[in-house]
Amino acid sequence: MCLAVPAEVVEILQNDVAFIDVGGLRKKINLSLVEGVQTGDFVLVHAGFAIEIIDEEEARKTMELFEELACLDEIR
């Protein structure tokens, strides 16, 4: 029930309304729960609202960690 999906913000209108891209479709969401969203940001969407901005830098770090783990295993 706490399911939230990542999606890119493609257009920001007035009154906290924005459009995200979901598999090529534009979907309307509400931005009133997050501070400072910009077009091109990825947000987590839950029940029609963005609940957090995804941190690209942190995402990259986690991925690097995962890749490192996989490589370590190949070496063994």
Partner 1 sequence: MKYVDEFRLPGTARSLVRKIRELGTGATFMEVCGTHTMAISKAGLGPMLSPQVELISGPGCPVCVTSDMDIDTAVAVAHMPGVILATFGDMVKVPGSHGSLSDASAEGATVKVVYSPLEALDLARSESDSEVVFLGIGFETTAPVVAATILEARKRELRNFFVLSFHKLVPPALRALAATEDFSVDGFILPGHVSAVIGSRAYSFLPSEFGIPCVVAGFEATDILQSVFRLMQALTARPSVAIEYSRVVRPEGNQKALSVMYEVFEPVDAEWRGLFRLPASGLGLKEEYREYDAGAWPVEIPPATGDKGCRCGEVLCGKIKPSLCGLFGGACTPDNPVGPCMVSTEGTCASYFLYSYDEVD
Residue 46 lies near partner 1 (rule: CB under 8 A): yes
Candidates 14, 25, 32, 38: give the one binding partner 1 (CB under 8 A).
32
Burial 29-42 (b: 16+ CB within 10 A, else e): bebeebeebeeebb
Q: How many residues are listed for the chain in this entry? A: 76
CB 36 within 8 A of CB 16: no
Residue 25 lies near partner 1 (rule: CB under 8 A): no
Binding site for partner 1 (CB under 8 A): 1-4, 6, 30, 32-35, 42, 44, 46-49, 51-52, 54-56, 58-63, 65-67, 69-70, 72-74
